[in-house]
Amino acid sequence: MLVATLAAWWWTHPPDPIATLRACWAPPVRVERLPAPELGTGIERWRIFDARGDSVSALWRPAPTGASEPWTVVLLGGFHTGDRAALVLPEDEPANVLAVDWPWSEERSLSSWEIMAHLRKIQAAALRSPAALALGVEAARSQPDVDSTRLAVFGVSLGVPPALAALRLTRAPRALALIDGAAGLQDLFDAELRTAVRPRALAAPIAALAYRLVRPLEPALNADAAAGLPVLMINAADDELMPHAGVQRLRAGIPQATYETRPGKHIRPSARAEIAALTARAASWLNGLRPVASHP
């Protein structure tokens, strides 16, 4: 009876989401930049250390030589792509790119039951992902080859929730782009689990538990952190992963956003033509922005 009472109390009294995000945050104190010519011209491996001794890895790819006043895009992509998102973008992308890796050092292809077995580790890594992205932003801002007045955050796919949540931790970004994302994490989990969990009736309670564990990442709770920022939102018209209602909910939460729909399904690292088109659109949007003095 006591266990049931404690469980019920835990379920109905989630911690303050902003306090949870801030508990994972510490500012950067050191950035190690090592050339990685085997990955491409100018590419560097970054290791960013924070004040608590934790670290985040990232890949840096500079803008092409001769790019005029390039923006610096700090990017968090899909879970399986990680920091290698920097290698997926077209080489002529007219911006510096710092692709931050997810703070997860173990196997990334997990079955539904393996996810349940590693739930606490996954929760810790998920809740730390906004801090990892914010660490990348602050590290980039401190570098001599970065114009801090032209610093943008991009979240792609599963990187969308941490990108919004990272705005709770850093005020440095001057622009935000969200690609193929949605609000309503519980619905997203439920839709995914219904095809992976048997019996199917378990999907809804597992999705509810997963949402409760990572609730501070819910985009609907963090949409207001983008107030005052120029925002670009692009979603696939036939996205098979993001529920349409969640896409519309995210759109409603950021009313100042430039919202566009592109043909096709959810973006994949192998879809080079689609990525090139998205990159060109985002670059055009960034270069058309008027200077933003600061993120209020």
Domain residue ranges in the chain? 28-287
| 28-287 CATH | 3.40.50.1820
Burial of residue 195 (CB within 10 Å: 0-12, 13-18, 19+) is: exposed
Give the length of the chain. 296
For residue 288, give every residue at least 6 positions away whose Cβ sits within 8 Å of its Cβ, in sequence order, or none: none
Task: Report the pLDDT value the prediction gives residue 113, as an integer from 0 to 100.
Answer: 53
CA distance 22 to 16: 10
Task: Report the pLDDT value the prediction gives residue 270, as an integer from 0 to 100.
Answer: 86
Residue segments in the chain with a per-residue pLDDT below the cut of 50? 3
Neighbours of 197 (CB within 10 A): 19
Task: Report the pLDDT value the prediction gives residue 65, as an integer from 0 to 100.
Answer: 87
Task: Report the pLDDT value the prediction gives residue 280, as an integer from 0 to 100.
Answer: 92
User: Model-level pTM?
Assistant: 0.91
Question: For residue 164, which of 264, 17, 63 has the smallest C-alpha distance?
Answer: 17
199 preceded by a cis bond (ω within 30 of 0):
yes
Task: Report the pLDDT value the prediction gives residue 217, as an integer from 0 to 100.
Answer: 95
Task: Report the pLDDT value the prediction gives residue 123, as an integer from 0 to 100.
Answer: 83
Task: Report the pLDDT value the prediction gives residue 281, as an integer from 0 to 100.
Answer: 94
Burial of residue 9 (CB within 10 Å: 0-12, 13-18, 19+) is: exposed
Whole-number Cα distances in Å, 18 to 15, 24, 104:
9, 10, 22
